[in-house]
Amino acid sequence: MFSGLERIDTLREQLQEHNYRYYVLDDPSVPDVEYDLLMRELRELEAVHPQAVTPDSPTQRVGAAPAEGFTPVTHTVSMLSLSDVFTDAEVEDFDRRVSTVLDRGEVTYTAEPKMDGLAVSLTYEQGSLVQAATRGDGSRGENVTANVRTIESIPLRLRGHDYPAVLEVRGEVYMPRDGFDSYNQRARSANEKPLANPRNGAAGSLRQLEPKITAGRPLAFFAYAAITRAGLPDTQFEVLNRLRDWGFPVNPEVRRVTGVSGCTGFYHYLEELRPGLNYDIDGVVYKVDSFDSQDELGFVARAPRWAVARKFPAEEEITRLLEIDVQVGRTGAITPVARLEPVSVAGVTVTNATLHNEDEIRRKDVRPGDWVVIRRAGDVIPEVVRSLPERRETELPEWPFPQNCPVCGSAIEKIDGEAIARCSGGLFCPAQRKQSIRHFATRKALDIEGLGDKLVDMLVDAGLLDSVADLFELKLEDVAGLERMGEKSASNLLQQLEQCKDVSLARLLYALGIREVGEVTARSLAEVFGSMGALEQAGIEDLLAVPDVGPIVAEHVYQFFREAHNQMVIDQLLAAGVRPRSVRVVKAGGPLEGQVWVLTGTLEYPRSRAKKWLESLGAKVTGSVSKNTTALLAGEAAGSKLAKAEDLGVRVVDSEEFDGMLKEHAINTTA
């Protein structure tokens, strides 16, 4: 029989191991509910035995008192910046300089994604985290230990027993893209200010004086260096492996490469991979792998000779703002858009950029005729970051925000507490009508193939569509008579519409375009209420009990089903034969439970559908191949992921085998 103190030690070891498998190996060993039960038991035992509470206990991640300010920390070894290079030729020059000094043939490098976050230094004594500091100016940073303790992926206690008595580890605190998006969605729902971008979100979160605020932010960590040398391997790559063994997350895309070809090959591989990553990177870091060679190369000024950062193309450029227009969204949102002199940003020609809302225009003091800074990151819509008023040659007038909708002439309204102004015209406004129909047809909604933007414009302009319900009343002769349609195209569209009548409740809810209801919330509503009728009868309190639903979302959903026009559209959809199916809630223990799948190449089905089917069978779908991958679903023109899977001996599944598996498990591929 365990004593309370013995049980505390056992629970801490178990929770530490579960954290390691979850954050480092990406291979959870227990369900979340079981982890939560262990944590609850530990909290209860520590409450009974307060003398047993230690700073490295898993329970101590949250709850420190607010700080009055951050105390300065002097780094034992300066946190230096790296020299930047931008082209293959500059990488060749770097390799030539290194090779000349070392004179040992081709040089081996560790190639690492350059995270776009906040650099920190972590100090451990006897395996316990005792200090965390920001980079600061490289010589002195700020003590952020209390905040760093709240980051789940940073170990408070190291695994194993072979670590040095004192260990200093450096790495990057970042905010994953999905966490950033979820946080901003919640912030907007609560009428709070959203974060500007993941990097600013990570930096601002880590410098909160109240650790509980930091604990509520979706932060993560990747280790990239150990300053301590004694007792560690003699290469960078092996040190990263050792850090991983001790419980630190290390970027899974780190590679050991040889010579210029290895460096440039990894860069172009990562450039292709970048849009699908769940974190922001702004380049690649090349480090000479051997520490002996690093020592031989030394430093120049404030940067090492043995490492460089190859940056991706610049994502900010300067151009002139020609004029400001406004766009009307499907919910009536009025979005000002900057019309720009064409400028290439990160390899893409940009002529338009969002200005978000009137408040942002005033805050940034953006005026037609200004020189402005444009930012484009990944697939994000380009935005105007700031104006450059110092470049104004004459005084430019402020842009007057319109009082009436430019499409239908209805009054523009702005609700107190909301930054976004809206057209009051509702579906009387053709712009809102068109946007709502386009949204209804999107891939993540009803996925109506063949119903593109131009066809929606023609159908609305011809008076054939007043709402989404009218789609299912279209006649062959009406559609065939439109410009560039014809009988065959019209027939194909009507067949698509017929197939779309069999749709999940979650997809239909998302397709209806209820304000603040995205895919996740729509799925939660469908799982809780099960039918459209039950949801129509739900009160505010019923809605607040749904995961992902707060007061603002609950109010939007409640009011949507009480608006007469919306109810009429739903009734018309049901009368036309649309039959929403409730979402089948996936139970633990599905046929693919515990399996990790990766998708690559051109598949017979959209990737989003293949992902959904795999998840419905219990599998986890990730973006990169690793030793933990169970299977790779490979379509045509599969690239580096296929090669890596073959190298690792990962099972490769082609489209034919995948189809057979779907049929075996009775997956409906038409939904």
**Are residues 108 and 171 both part of a single domain?**
yes
Q: Residue 411: inside a domain, yes or no?
A: no
pLDDT in the model for residue 511: 93
CATH of the domain at 330: 2.40.50.140
Q: Residue 485: inside a domain, yes or no?
A: yes
**Are residues 325 and 214 both part of a single domain?**
no
Strand pairing report for 255-258 and 108-115:
antiparallel
SS3 299: strand
| HSE-CB of 105 using CA atoms within 13 angstroms | 2
Q: Residue 76: inside a domain, yes or no?
A: no
This prediction's pTM: 0.49
**Are residues 576 and 610 both part of a single domain?**
no
Q: Residue 67: inside a domain, yes or no?
A: no
**Are residues 147 and 278 both part of a single domain?**
yes
Q: Decide if 114 is catalytic.
A: yes
* Per-residue pLDDT tens digits for 210-239: 888 888 899 999 999 999 888 899 999 999
Strand partners, 343: 350
CATH of the domain at 460: 1.10.150.20
Q: Are 15 and 54 in contact (CB under 8 A)?
A: no
Per DSSP, helices labelled H in 383-499 are 430-441, 453-461, 476-480, 486-499
CATH of the domain at 293: 3.30.470.30
Q: Are 310 and 85 in contact (CB under 8 A)?
A: yes
Q: Which two tokens stand for residue 34?
A: 């079981």
Q: Which two tokens stand for residue 112?
A: 């690492």
**Are residues 395 and 430 both part of a single domain?**
no
Q: Residue 409: inside a domain, yes or no?
A: no
Widest distance between CA atoms in the chain: 84
Q: Are 137 and 73 in contact (CB under 8 A)?
A: no
**Are residues 560 and 611 both part of a single domain?**
no
From the number of C-beta atoms within 10 Å of its C-beta (0-12, 13-18, 19+), residue 616 rates as: middle
Cα–Cα distance list, 20 to 14, 239, 242, 620 (Å): 10, 17, 13, 18
Number of domains forming the structure of the chain: 6
Q: Which two tokens stand for residue 392?
A: 């104004």
Q: Residue 338: inside a domain, yes or no?
A: yes
Cα–Cα distance list, 60 to 25, 420, 491, 494, 599 (Å): 23, 40, 64, 60, 39
pLDDT in the model for residue 665: 84
**Are residues 275 and 139 both part of a single domain?**
yes
Element (H or E) spanning 177, and its range? helix 177-189
Q: Residue 65: inside a domain, yes or no?
A: no
Q: Are 49 and 198 in contact (CB under 8 A)?
A: no
Q: Which of 581, 606, 622 is the last residue of a domain?
A: 581
**Are residues 226 and 353 both part of a single domain?**
no
pLDDT in the model for residue 256: 97
CATH of the domain at 12: 1.10.287.610
Q: How many residues does the chain have?
A: 671
Mean pLDDT, the chain cut into blocks of 10 residues (671 residues total): 74 80 63 71 81 78 55 87 88 94 89 94 95 87 92 92 93 94 87 82 87 90 92 94 96 96 95 90 94 85 86 84 93 92 82 91 94 74 89 92 91 82 80 90 90 92 91 93 88 93 93 86 85 90 77 87 86 93 56 84 75 80 78 81 87 90 81 55
Amino acid letter for position 296: E
**Are residues 388 and 512 both part of a single domain?**
no
Q: Which of 276, 311, 346 is the last residue of a domain?
A: 311
**Are residues 291 and 363 both part of a single domain?**
no
Q: Which of 449, 475, 500 is the last residue of a domain?
A: 500
Cβ-proximal residues to 320 (8 Å cutoff; 6+ apart), any chain: 340, 341, 369, 370, 371, 372
Q: Tokens 């102004």 identify what position?
A: 421
Domain that holds residue 334: 316-400
Q: Residue 337: inside a domain, yes or no?
A: yes
**Are residues 511 and 631 both part of a single domain?**
no
* Per-residue pLDDT tens digits for 262-297: 999 999 999 889 988 999 998 999 999 999 898 888
Cβ-proximal residues to 432 (8 Å cutoff; 6+ apart), any chain: 328, 329, 330, 331, 332, 423, 425, 426
Q: How far apart are the first and last CA of the chain?
A: 54
**Are residues 192 and 248 both part of a single domain?**
yes
pLDDT in the model for residue 35: 72
